[in-house]
Amino acid sequence: KLKKESGIMYKNYLSENLQYFFEIGLDKKDLAHVSDLNYSNIVNLENGLVNNPNILTVSKLAKALELSVEYLVNKDSRGEIIDFDFMKEKDLIDPLEFKLSQNVDSFIKANGYSNHKAGRMFRTCATTVRRIREDKEKMARLEICNKIAKSMKVSLDELLFEEIKFQ
């Protein structure tokens, strides 16, 4: 799935990576259980039926697989040797603690932006920026989070899970 992002083609490798992981031995039912996602959701992601999943889904997958979100969606993992035996012993992942809304709010305040100006900078709409700032980040879409991370010059994982100080 190629998406155009400011003149550059953006490729999301989530579907290809999941297909590869299942080929090399990852069990879909184990992943569904550990990530606390519905089995059919896993199958839809694998088959590329969900082009732009919400960030909560992607984060749960990454955490369950013990991979970074950045690695899971932005890197072609095919050909790499990854051992998923630990999944059979693993129980549900711990709840995720997002920092997305806090980081976006901090960045906007540090730069004196309005939601509209930040929306233009992040190449998204002001409504999306407002929703994220109102702590509804778990429903933010992967593509939007990638755009915001690139605009802020931070990794996707930093944007989502680490508290970033902006001056």
Q: What is the pTM of this model?
A: 0.84
* Confidence class for position 74, pLDDT limits 50, 70, 90: confident
pLDDT the model gives residue 113: 94
Q: Which residue has the higher pLDDT, 58 or 9?
A: 58
pLDDT the model gives residue 10: 47
pLDDT the model gives residue 22: 93
pLDDT the model gives residue 11: 61
Contacts with 61 (C-beta within 8 Å, 6 or more apart), sequence order: 14, 18, 31, 35, 37, 45, 72
